[in-house]
């Protein structure tokens, strides 16, 4: 009887399973192939972000609408998290490495929040990383060869402190939704 009471007591102390606003992608290998270059030229992988909740977004600096809106929502989400935001790393991976140099991308993401990080790399690094996240991107011709756009998926990938993919949020998620899902992993 005492053993059963102890088990019941332990069960009561366990954390309830998270109820995410986004899709629960726990148990997938999404993002495991991340290998892109940060603003200082260092190759970054998922292992570099262990100990923090990682939020990944694919976009590009010349994006006229979706990317700046999404980055603004991420910045607002960090504001909602207050001090807990120190346990989170937001990363934007460019889908346009041809134009988004480390310097340009770094300036872009830091304009939204000084803690944000931009990752770029070779077309091959981008291809492998995007495949790992199952993210879509393609060049869309513009009026001139230099004025092209990039079609891309616009989701937020949330990875827990152990480096495991946990949540996939639609790119039009609100700051409150993003912060709520992040908070469950802190």
Looking up tokens 């332990």, which residue turns up? 10
Please, what's the largest Cα pairwise distance for the chain? 78
Structure tokens at 84: 């807990």
Q: Is 63 annotated as a binding residue?
A: yes
Of the candidates 39, 46, 59, the one whose C-alpha atom is nearest the C-alpha of residue 117 is: 39
Bridge partners, residue 56, by sequence: 91, 157
Q: Is 152 annotated as a binding residue?
A: yes
8 A C-beta contact, residue 171 and residue 67? no
Binding residues for Cu cation: 63, 67, 152
Binding residues: 63, 67, 152
């Amino acid at each position: 009887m005492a053993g059963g009471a102890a088990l019941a007591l332990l069960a009561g102390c366990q954390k309830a399973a998270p109820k995410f606003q986004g899709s629960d992608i726990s148990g997938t290998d999404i993002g495991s192939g991340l290998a892109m270059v940060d603003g200082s030229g260092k190759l970054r992988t998922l292992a570099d972000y262990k100990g923090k909740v990682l939020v990944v977004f694919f976009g590009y600096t010349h994006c006229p609408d979706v990317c700046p809106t999404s980055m603004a929502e991420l910045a607002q989400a960090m504001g909602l998290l207050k001090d807990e935001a120190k346990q989170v790393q937001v990363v934007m991976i460019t889908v346009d490495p041809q134009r988004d140099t480390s310097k340009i991308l770094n300036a872009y993401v830091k304009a939204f929040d000084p803690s944000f990080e931009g990752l770029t790399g070779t077309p091959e690094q981008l291809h492998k990383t995007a495949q790992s996240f199952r993210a879509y991107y393609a060049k869309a011709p513009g009026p001139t060869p230099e004025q092209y756009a990039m079609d891309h998926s616009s989701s937020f990938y949330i990875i827990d402190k152990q480096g495991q993919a946990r949540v996939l949020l639609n790119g039009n998620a609100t700051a409150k939704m993003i912060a709520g899902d992040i908070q469950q992993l802190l």
